[in-house]
A and B are shown apart, each in its own frame.
Chain A
Amino acid sequence: MTRVFVPRDAAALAMGAEAVAKALAEHADVVRTGSRGLFWLEPMIEVETPEGRIAYGPVEAADVPGLLADGLLTGTARRLRLGVPEQIPFLARQTRLTFARCGIVDPLSLGDYRAHGGFEGLEKARAMGPAAIVETVLASGLRGRGGAGFPTGIKWKTVAEAKGDRKYIVCNADEGDSGTYADRMMMEGDPFSLVEGMIIAGLAVGATKGYVYTRSEYPHAIDTFDKALDIARRAGLLGGDFDIEQRSGAGAYVCGEETSLLESLEGKRGQVRAKPPLPAHKGLFGQPTVINNLVTLTSLPCILRDGAEHYQALGMGRSRGTMPIQLAGNLKYAGLFEAGFGVTLGELVNDIGGGTRSGRPIRAVQVGGPLGAYFPPALFDTPFDYEAFAARDGLIGHGGVVVFDDTVDMAHQARFAMEFCAAESCGKCTPCRIGSVRGLETVDKILAERDVDANLELLRDLCHTMKFGSLCALGGFIPYPVLSAMNFFPEDFRQATRLAAA
């Protein structure tokens, strides 16, 4: 029977992929894959033909009988036909390294993984030895993809040189930023990449145990990755001198902060630790620990396979290699766009993202999750680069880009930032724990037109205190969305102009 590839990525399931797979089951050999990340086309299915795969989408279950009658299985049906997936402009413009296999392979087939270049990086890593692996990662210029952008090679070198009874590799898959879904897609679409990346990290620093801390809001990712671990263990890839265990979070955003995540893994309240000591010296259970974001770890297999120069040649400034940028919110073409650093925000949301889904003008774009600044169109020339965003009081975070149209109320967004911080603060430091509550109250006073000038000044002052006085990025960065809303959209904070605009 003809093979038809139907994604089982959670976003494809949200759009009805399960019913499509069922409708095709009797007529084709249905292979479940991850998603290519073109979410406005989901469920996007692909038919295997002698000329290669032909994509169709968005396909609903009700479309299947008609498509089959019109020649779906030979790729000749005209309706919903997208053609060769790699030639769809959204994909053709990308440089897929980390996400090269996602949406193509059966995520739980080691044979597929190997056939698409899997474990070649690990083989090279084994041959070169720990010191050379660390040198390669340093030379690649890879920086932490969780948001902090710390050079991965330096972190590894520190752990490699640290003394401890045992060492750990911890993968941060607590992807809590709104607008981000790269970790989820990878765990559901190409989980062996993470297994390979963590084995490489373990080799490099001499670790014997790996933990993956996955957020509980990702039940499908957890399920797929657990199955991948079982398969890897049965194939002898894990369980000898290095094993991996997955743990699930429990709905605390702050556990995406590395020290809070370690506390949570140890079975405690996820409260942030003061640094130093660095996790590299005293991390999980007090032992030297590499804690990396999932995208950082899954970038390693291709760096080791293709060499540091190949990766380092991409990007701009000190941001080297590719970034899987996640386009989200009110966008016509929202999806995963992996490209070398340097593409501008305007290109991302207008050219690639196609503007808003609602058809209204874009008013604000929040980059980097709930702690990221809201940028107005005037800043759309900002290139996607750690330093360029920081220079404009923003951050790229984990690469989430959330677009809002002109119906957004920016005072409401500022209020939400404080409300979110108040709900998610771990409570350890005062600026975040108390500041967020006071910030929420102050925004409410402004919205109620009470002493607006004085309260705006107070809010600004409070943001300053939180920014410089908080222990971690939650309290430290929540001022970014608040201040950017105040600075770029001041009219939304004045009732008179709010009413006039409404």
Chain B
Amino acid sequence: MADRESWNEDRARGVIAAVAVKEGAALPILHALQHVFGCVPLQAEPLVASALNITRAEVHGIVTFYHEFRRSPPGRHVLRLCRAEACQAVGADAVGAHLRSALAIDWHETSRDGAMTLEPVFCLGLCATGPSALLDGDPIGRLDAARVDRMLESLT
């Protein structure tokens, strides 16, 4: 996973300013912030509000509407496991249960050693080779308990 920077207000202002000139810039700004900091922390909201000349409440409403934006940084790795129907049909529920038990966490949580954040996702467009996941952005197909175990062992 790419190195994430810890929160820095000046850095955030720069990130926001670089994207704020676009039409309808809110989502591009939030994506840019999450790309740099791994999340969109609460402290970012007033900065975004001021750049877009909208209220902080509106910014909060936008950030919380979209599932993708995290409020705190994830673990060193992020696994996004598909929970949608095409993957359900080939055993995704069992893979999800196995992962949660192996990592001793629930959806949206990070393992205690900080290695892995588990996020549910509803479809990755990999519906013919499921159960599917993205590990730090790399697609994985045909997941089962054994493949999950091998994957977890190989992570640092």
Q: Which residue of A lies closest to B138 (CB)?
A: A13
Query: When the two chains form their complex, are residues A416 and B85 in contact, meaning their CB atoms are under 8 A apart?
Result: yes
Q: Is the CB of B126 within 8 A of A250?
A: no
- Asked if A14 and B126 sit within 8 Å, CB to CB, the answer is yes
- Chain A residue numbers with a CB within 8 Å of B23 are 266, 285
- In the complex, per-residue mask of B57-89: 1 if CB is within 8 Å of any chain A CB, else 0: 000011001111100000000001010111111
Nearest CB of chain A from residue B24's CB, rounded to whole Å: 4
B56 on the A face (CB < 8 A)? no
- Can you list the 3 inter-chain pairs with the closest CB atoms, starting with the nearest? A267-B26, A178-B84, A14-B141
Contact with B along A175-200 (1 / 0, CB 8 A): 11111110110000000000000000
Given known contacts A14-B140, A267-B52, A329-B130, A252 and B66 CB-to-CB distance under 8 angstroms: yes
Minimum CB–CB distance for B112 against chain A, Å: 26
Q: Would you give the 0/1 interface string for B32-57, flagging 1 where the beta carbon is closer than 8 Å to chain A? A: 00000000000000000000100000
Given contacts A178-B122, A217-B123, A267-B27, contact A14 B129 (CB under 8 A): yes
Chain A residues within an 8 Å CB radius of B123? 175-180, 217
Chain A residues positioned under 8 Å from B142 (CB to CB): 14-15
Given contacts A219-B134, A270-B66, A408-B89, contact A248 B128 (CB under 8 A): no
Chain A interface category by residue count: 35 or more
Q: What residues on A are CB-neighbors of B121 within 8 Å?
A: 217, 251
Residues of B within 8 A of A (CB): 23-28, 30-31, 52, 61-62, 65-69, 80, 82, 84-90, 121-130, 132, 134, 137-142
A400-B141 Cα distance, complex, nearest whole Å? 18
Q: A293 on the interface (CB 8 Å rule)? A: no
A364 to chain B minimum Cβ distance, whole angstroms, is 9
B residues near A268, Cβ cutoff 8 Å: 24, 26, 62
Whether B84 lies near A181 (C-beta < 8 A) is no
* A492 CB, min distance to chain B CBs, angstroms: 15
Bound-state Cα–Cα, A39 to B89, Å? 16
Q: Which residues of A contact B31 (CB under 8 A)?
A: 216, 248, 250
Which of A15, A358, A413 lies at the interface centre, i.e. has the most chain B CB atoms within 10 A of its CB?
A15
Find out whether the CB atom of A179 lies under 8 angstroms from the CB atom of B85. yes
Closest to A374 in B: B85
Does A357 sit within 8 A of B, measured CB to CB? Answer: yes
Provide 21 A-B residue pairs closer than 8 Å at the C-beta atoms, listed in order of the A residue.
A11-B128, A13-B138, A14-B126, A14-B129, A176-B122, A176-B123, A178-B82, A181-B126, A217-B80, A217-B134, A218-B125, A248-B28, A249-B68, A250-B27, A252-B65, A285-B23, A327-B128, A329-B130, A358-B90, A400-B86, A416-B85
Smallest distance from the beta carbon of B123 to chain A beta carbons, Å? 5
- Known A179-B85, A404-B89; judge A251-B129 contact (CB<8 A): no
CB-based contact A366/B85 at 8 Å: yes
Question: Which of chain B's residues have a CB closer than 8 A to the CB of A327?
Answer: 128
B86 CB contact (under 8 Å) in A13, A178, A264: A178
Determine if B68 and A402 form an interchain contact, defined as CB atoms under 8 angstroms apart. no
For A366, the chain B residues whose CB sits under 8 A away are 85
- Mark A residues whose CB is within 8 Å of B: 10-11, 13-15, 39-40, 42, 175-181, 183-184, 216-221, 247-253, 264-271, 285, 326-331, 334-335, 357-358, 366, 370, 400, 402-405, 408, 413, 416, 420, 424, 426
Which listed residue, A216, A247, A266, touches B68 by the CB 8 Å rule?
A: A216
Q: A14-B132, A370-B85 are in contact. Are A248 and B122 (CB under 8 A)?
A: no
Question: What residues on B are CB-neighbors of A403 within 8 Å?
Answer: 89
Q: Which among A11, A268, A328, A408 has the greatest number of chain B C-beta atoms within 10 A?
A: A328
Q: How far is the CA of A11 from the CA of B90 in the complex (A)?
A: 16
Choose one: B30, B86, B128, B140; the contact of A250 (CB below 8 Å).
B30
In the complex, are the beta carbons of B139 and A402 less than 8 A apart?
A: no
The reply to whether A328 and B65 contact each other, CB–CB distance below 8 Å, is no
Bound complex: CA A14 to CA B67 (Å): 24
B124 CB to nearest chain A CB (Å): 5
Q: Quote the shortest CB–CB distance from B115 to chain A (angstroms).
A: 21
A247 and B66 contacting across the interface, CB-CB below 8 Å: no
Instruction: Determine if A181 and B90 form an interchain contact, defined as CB atoms under 8 angstroms apart.
Output: no
By a CB distance below 8 angstroms, the chain B residues around A176 are 122-123
Q: A177–B86 Cα gap in the complex (Å)? A: 10
Residue of A nearest to B143 (CB): A14
CB pair A331 B85 closer than 8 Å: no
CB distance from A116 to the nearest CB of B (A): 24
Contacting pair A253 B122 (CB below 8 A):
yes
Q: Are B90 and A330 in contact (CB under 8 A)?
A: yes
Contact of B126 with A267 in the complex, beta carbons under 8 Å: no
- A270 to B86 CA separation, bound complex (whole angstroms): 25
Residues of B within 8 A of A180 (CB): 123, 125, 127
Q: How far is the CA of A358 from the CA of B144 in the complex (A)?
A: 14
User: Known contacts A265-B24, A269-B61, A269-B62: does B124 contact A217 (CB below 8 Å)?
Assistant: yes
Given A179-B86, A400-B86: A251 and B61 interface contact (C-beta under 8 Å): no
Known contacts A178-B84, A179-B85, A329-B86; decide if A400 and B24 are in contact (CB<8 Å). Answer: no
> Provided the pairs A13-B139, A270-B66 are in contact, do residues A184 and B122 lie with their beta carbons within 8 angstroms?
no
- B127 touching A328 by the CB < 8 A rule? yes
Q: How far apart are the CA atoms of A331 and B128 in the complex, in Å? A: 8
Residues of A within 8 A of B90 (CB): 329-330, 357-358
Contact of A269 among B52, B65, B82, B86 (CB under 8 A): B65
19 extra A-B contacts, CB within 8 A, seeds A328-B128, A331-B128, A416-B85: A10-B139, A13-B139, A14-B126, A179-B127, A181-B126, A216-B68, A217-B124, A249-B66, A253-B122, A328-B130, A330-B90, A335-B128, A357-B90, A366-B85, A370-B122, A402-B85, A402-B127, A413-B88, A424-B122
Roughly how many angstroms separate A184 CA and B121 CA in the complex, as a whole number? 16
Question: Shortest CB–CB separation between residue B64 and chain A, in angstroms?
Answer: 9
| Chain A neighbourhood of B61, CB < 8 A | 269
